């Protein structure tokens, strides 16, 4: 939400006093409720996420459903109404938003980007970093006047934050204007939850502390017809000590390969140019399929035969990046030579404290294998600085590893504790000024290596999948190379959604400038 929208919201006329009083009575009833009143929504685990219990969880309660349908009595519940979803966090959240948008569309709702005309507003939240959580609570504060002036507005909080007990308690205590709270495991129940929120008089809370099921045939409202996200699995079993995802997303559970392949074939038939396979730990795909020996390499070997120009996957865990996957990626074709491989730290000691279950040496050996099989592959990574007890020497190991691998880009973060994780119990004993100084030094190296990596594209002709207009200049088009490098160039709008040849005329730290090659101009 921008400042202008906030100003507009503050100028909305007051509603009917009787409606406001009714809403205040409703909020007072919710305020008087105790956490115990909501135990049923968390089944038997209404408590801070417990690592030991989570490690012992089984797969026996995970079910596979292929029959998602919207009940007849709810088909037109959104007729004449509009929805707005604000998304925070990763591509998985973006994809969850597409699913919720698809469900809302089938219910009869129309999309809007204007909070003032929305009848339902959902905040799809992220629990990875404290900053993301703060943004959501800030947004709830900004939306409160709108809710007070329009009591019929349904305001909901969903996503990973909703799976945390502390977050739900904070909403119950300080944000009683929220109508609806639901988590990551029950998106398929959105029609019923909206019905309860519309016709009920109290806050609707439904958060399942279970492993989650696999639900097929969920509708999706995808953005555009160029790139598509395809979930191939859910959850994570790695239990990195700084990460809340295993508790918010549940155990690793894979979709059946035939369902994934059918979805991608359908996208290809619709004209999509690129699909990205998604999973919290995407290359653990298939490890839970008890009736077959089938992994991500096998899946991608089948997908590469589908007539779709580009296929990517994210996000990988080094521990599960096996030789079979490398072998298949080396076949090339529509499998893009871009690999995001989070290392988090270059120190084996820090990696051990993070519970990453690999060492600096084994990570470098994996990189060696990848580069030998795919010499032109572009590698990027994630790095956390200032993890508890990280010494200057251990940070320097991260710096030297970055140099040894020759990463072409990185997402870098200062460590901040997340409630409910083992690392949060440790003293956050690296001073903030030291963390910031280390991040600055790391980013200097990241920028340097990115600039060097892009220089090799000077005067080269590259294939660019054109996604649309540049954010900074509507007269300039923007798209990505197979190695996921952003290219800006001038060309006709008719090439948006197509792959065209672009000659690189200038290289920068993070982007490339170019001009359409003569052959591309002639074709179009």
Q: What residues are designated binding site?
A: 90, 126, 160, 236, 240, 243
Q: What is the spatial distance between Cα 522 and Cα 518, in angstroms, rounded to a whole number?
A: 6
Q: Residue 14 carries which DSSP code?
A: P
Q: What is the spatial distance between Cα 317 and Cα 350, in angstroms, rounded to a whole number?
A: 16
Beta-strand pair 511-516/204-206: unpaired
Q: What residues are designated binding site for [4Fe-4S] cluster?
A: 90, 126, 160, 236, 240, 243
Q: What radius of gyration do the chain's Cα atoms show?
A: 24
What DSSP letter does each residue of 26-53 carry, written as one string? HHHHHHT--GGGGGGGGTT--SS--HHH
Q: What is the spatial distance between Cα 96 and Cα 457, in angstroms, rounded to a whole number?
A: 36
- Name the 3-class secondary structure at 200: coil
User: Does the CA dihedral 497-500-506-509 come out positive or negative?
Assistant: positive
**Tokens encoding 268:** 């290809």
- Name the 3-class secondary structure at 520: helix
Q: Find out whether 421 and 248 touch, Cβ atoms under 8 Å.
A: no
Q: What is the spatial distance between Cα 320 and Cα 166, in angstroms, rounded to a whole number?
A: 32
CA distances from 49 to 41, 42, 158, 230 (A): 15, 11, 17, 28
């Amino acid at each position: 939400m921008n400042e202008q929208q906030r100003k507009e919201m503050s100028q909305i006329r007051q509603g009917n006093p009787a409606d406001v009083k009714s809403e205040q009575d409703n909020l007072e009833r919710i305020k008087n409720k105790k956490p115990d009143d909501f135990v049923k929504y968390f089944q038997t685990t209404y408590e801070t996420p417990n690592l030991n219990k989570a490690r012992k969880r089984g797969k026996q309660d995970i079910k596979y459903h292929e029959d998602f349908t919207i009940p007849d009595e709810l088909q037109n519940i959104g007729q004449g109404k509009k929805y707005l979803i604000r998304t925070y966090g990763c591509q998985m959240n973006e994809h969850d938003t597409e699913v919720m948008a698809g469900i809302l569309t089938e219910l009869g709702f129309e999309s809007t980007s204007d909070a003032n005309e929305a009848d339902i507003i959902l905040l799809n939240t992220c629990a990875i970093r404290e900053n993301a959580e703060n943004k959501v609570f800030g947004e709830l504060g900004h939306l409160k006047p709108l809710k007070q002036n329009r009591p019929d507005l349904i305001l909901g909080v969903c996503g990973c934050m909703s799976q945390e007990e502390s977050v739900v308690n904070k909403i119950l205590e300080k944000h009683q204007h929220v109508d609806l709270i639901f988590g990551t495991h029950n998106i398929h129940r959105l029609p019923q939850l909206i019905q309860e929120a519309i016709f009920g008089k109290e806050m609707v809370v439904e958060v399942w502390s279970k492993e989650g099921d696999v639900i097929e045939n969920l509708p999706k409202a995808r953005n555009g017809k160029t790139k598509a996200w395809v979930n191939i699995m859910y959850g994570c079993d790695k239990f990195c000590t700084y990460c809340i995802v295993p508790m918010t997303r549940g155990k690793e559970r894979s979709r059946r390969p035939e369902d994934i392949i059918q979805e991608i074939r359908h996208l290809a038939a619709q004209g999509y140019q690129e699909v990205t396979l998604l999973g919290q730990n995407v290359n653990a795909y298939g490890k839970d399929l008890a009736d077959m020996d089938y992994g991500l390499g096998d899946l991608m070997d089948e997908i590469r035969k589908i007539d779709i120009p580009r296929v990517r996957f994210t996000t990988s865990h080094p521990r599960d990046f096996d030789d079979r996957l490398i072998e298949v990626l080396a076949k090339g074709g529509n499998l893009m030579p871009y690999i995001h491989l989070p290392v988090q730290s270059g120190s084996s000691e820090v990696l051990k404290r993070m519970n990453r279950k690999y060492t600096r040496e084994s990570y470098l050996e994996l990189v060696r294998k990848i580069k030998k099989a795919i010499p032109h592959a572009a590698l990027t990574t994630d790095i956390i600085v200032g993890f508890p007890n990280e010494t200057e020497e251990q940070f320097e190991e991260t710096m030297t590893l970055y140099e040894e691998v020759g990463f072409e880009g990185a997402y870098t973060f200062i460590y901040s504790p997340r409630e409910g994780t083992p690392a949060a119990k440790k003293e956050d004993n690296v001073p903030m000024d030291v963390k910031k100084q280390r991040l600055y030094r790391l980013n200097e190296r990241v920028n340097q290596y990115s600039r060097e990596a892009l220089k090799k594209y000077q005067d080269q002709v590259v294939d660019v999948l054109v996604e649309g207009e540049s954010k900074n200049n509507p007269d300039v088009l923007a798209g990505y190379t197979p190695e996921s490098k952003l290219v800006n160039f001038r060309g006709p709008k008719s090439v948006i959604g197509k792959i065209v040849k672009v000659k690189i005329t200038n290289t920068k730290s993070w982007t490339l400038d170019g001009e359409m090659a003569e052959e591309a101009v002639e074709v179009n």
